Each structure stands twice: as C-alpha cells, then as structure tokens.
Structure 1
Amino acid sequence: MLGWLRAALAFSLLVASVFIGAVFATQNTSVVPLSLFVITLPEQTMAVWLLLFLIAGLATGSLISSGIVLRQRAGLAALRRENTRLKQRMERAPSNG
C-alpha cells in the first residue's frame, strides 16, 4: 500500500529537482573563470561549475560513506561469527546444574 506512495514521492522529488535545476541553469548564464590554486580552468557558466562540484561532492560522499558501511558490515560479520562460535562452545560444555 505504501509502495505507490513512496514511488510517487520519489518521482515528484525527481521532477522538482530537474525543474529547479533547469531554472537554475537558465537564470545563471554569466560566464565565470575558475582558479584553483595554480590551475586555471576554462570559463563556463556558474550553473555548470556549481553542478559539477555538486556531482563531485555527491560522488565523494558516496565513496566515503560506502567505505564506512563496508567496514561496519565486516565488523558485524566478525561479531556474528564469534557469537556462533561461543554458542557452539556453550552447547558442548557440560552443565554443572
């Protein structure tokens, strides 16, 4: 039941993002050179520079967060293996009661 609501919300957010991006790109048409310390990049519109850096930031954030998630999953797998090993050890131990 909530699947269609989630899909509709995702679709509406996608449409709104594309619309806002299009409006942003058409409103920011001034050409700007970009200087990064010693590197001077060719002139592009402000919208192009901002969208490129947005994409670069999203990609960097995704890579960093996926590294953290993989490390946490590896730790969780190690803890589950240890838990299984300890359960088996408890089952094999003689009971004192």
Structure 2
Amino acid sequence: MSIPPNPDEFYKKLKAQLYDTALWPSEYLYKFIVKTDTTKITKVESLFDNMGAVIHTVASKNAKYTSVSINVMMKNPDAVIDKYKEVAEKIEGVISL
C-alpha cells in the first residue's frame, strides 16, 4: 500500500524547481486531464479567463477523457502554485500533470 504524497511538500519542491528553471515572469504550460464533460472543460478554461492564455484541448482515443493544455504568462512560482490549487479546489476529479 502506497502513502499518498504530501501536497505541501509537493508544492514546496515545485516552487524550488520553478525558481531554478525559469526567469520570472515567464510563460508556464499547465496540463490537466478531466473526464470528457463540456461543463468541466469549460470550468477549467474559465479559471484562466482574462489572463491571455492559449488553451488547447484534445480528447483521448476513446473520448472518455480530455487533455486541457494552457499556456499562460505567470508572474512567479507562487502564482503558478496558487492556480494549481484553485483548479484542484474548484473542479472535482481533475488530474494535474
């Protein structure tokens, strides 16, 4: 039986990696997987409204899931992490990659 990862530790590590690998502000590529449901896809997209985001969706081979890729300018790693948390909080069953 595996122990689920600690979200605080995950975000702390992600923040350090983001500071090490980019100069901020910087473009960031979010990738989410949701069950193919227009309501859920629209919710994900709406969380990036008015941010100048470029959004691309692709349905899985059997159309059961949809990948939502969002390329957007973010001001710093804290803003990136806040957006991940917002998506996870507001959209049930979303998988963040």
Work out whether the TM-score is over 0.5.
no
Q: Normalization by structure 1: what TM-score?
A: 0.27
Greater strand share, structure number: 2
Structure having greater relative contact order (Cα 8 Å, sep ≥ 6): 2
Q: Normalization by structure 2: what TM-score?
A: 0.27
Greater helix share, structure number: 1
Larger Rg: 1
